[in-house]
Amino acid sequence: MVNRILVTGGAGFIGSAVIRHLLGDTPHEVANLDKLSYAGNLESVALVEDSSRYRFYQVDIYNGPALDAVFDEFQPTAVMHLAAESHVDRSIDGPSVFIQTNIVGTYTLLEAARRYWNALVPEAKTAFRFHHISTDEVYGDLEGTDDLFTETTAYAPSSPYSASKACSDHLARAWQRTYGLPTLVTNCSNNYGPYHFPEKLIPHVILNALAGKPLPVYGDGSQIRDWLYVEDHARALVEVVTRGQVGETYNIGGHNEKRNLEVVETICELLDELVPMSVDRQQAGSYKGLITFVKDRPGHDLRYAIDASKIQRELGWVPQETFESGIRKTVQWYLDNREWWKRVLSGEYQLGRLGA
């Protein structure tokens, strides 16, 4: 069956990976709905944007009438909702936009989807899916070294970002319980890979290292995260939206727990191998000499770890990349695609936008 899938936030990091996978590896039609905020970059879908199965709408999920028009024109069989503000540090400095986008925006999108869904003929109504994509940060952090987040772990968000995502998760489930809208929810661990916006840890470290700048590490770098290669995540999301059970939650993890300091050191070792620092630069040519410990951020969770056994058991999904293979691919991608990230750092990627 060929689906028509509306992807919100499709110019973002994970959303663009989903679109590249859908158009490159499946027969489905795709509509990319993105308001093109600072983290939205259409150059991340340039490889597939000429497909006859692709269209783009520059729309804010906060704009109900514009959403109605997109639903009416594209007639989706499924929605994959990835549009969100996602950077914890930004949420601490300015929580308002996180409340507006992640909570009010999700509410507005759910209502637009519900209006559209209610008008469908019975067969199409039964087939429709609304897939809400979220984060493991809604669970707070783990105390025990062997504990894992499961689909029934109680929510305990620590930051304005994770609190806003927790609220949007609850909204998606409530619209299914109250109105019957066929929703599914996924919660994922930390993503990494190609086309990652440079403010996040892994691309930030890669690009700072290449520029010979300090590599900031919060606290002592002992925070533990489960790392999920973004293309593995994209495959999992498409499995969920096409084969998952309505009303269910699926945790998606990479089975790769690493301390933040270990991640930074691994990147340094790969760069030492691939692009050795010249000996006339500091620290005798070792990128590890650029590591700088900085004051920890407020409310910083210590450990996240996902139990992804449900999605493996029910949908047969497992990650294809280990952290070692995925981080090597990621570092190499940034070395091979300097034009992409240089345009992001300079702001050139924002020039000539449709709504500018």
323: phi then psi, degrees, rounded to nearest 5: -65, -40
Alpha helices in 103-192 (DSSP H): 106-118, 122-127, 160-179
> Which stretch of DSSP H or E encloses residue 188?
strand 183-188
| φ, ψ for residue 140, nearest 5 deg | 80, -140
Kindly name the residue from 137, 226, 239, 257 that is annotated as catalytic.
137
Q: Is 307 a catalytic residue?
A: no
Residues 6 or more apart whose CB falls under 8 angstroms from that of 126 comprise none
Among residues 116, 139, 161, 195, which one is catalytic?
Answer: 161
Decide: 300 and 223 in contact? Cβ < 8 Å.
yes
Q: What letter would DSSP give residue 17?
A: H
| Catalytic residue chosen out of the listed positions 34, 136, 257, 301 | 136
315-320 contacts, C-beta under 8 A, 24 or more apart: 315/236, 315/239, 315/240, 315/243, 315/244, 315/250, 316/239, 317/235, 317/236, 317/239, 317/252, 319/228, 319/229, 319/232, 319/253, 319/254, 319/255, 319/256, 320/229, 320/231, 320/232, 320/235
**Concatenated DSSP letters of 44-74:** GGTTTTT-TTEEEE---TT-HHHHHHHHHHH
137 labelled catalytic: yes
Displacement of CA 61 from its chain's centroid (Å): 17
Distance (Å, rounded) from C-alpha 262 to C-alpha 247?
37
Q: Residue count of the chain, please give it.
A: 356
Q: Which of 88, 85, 89, 138 is nearest to 304 (CA)?
A: 138
> Tokens 């470290």 map to which residue?
205
312 sits in which H/E element: helix 309-315
State how far the Cα of 307 lies from the Cα of 145, in Å rounded to an integer. Answer: 13
The residues annotated as belonging to the active site are 136-137, 161
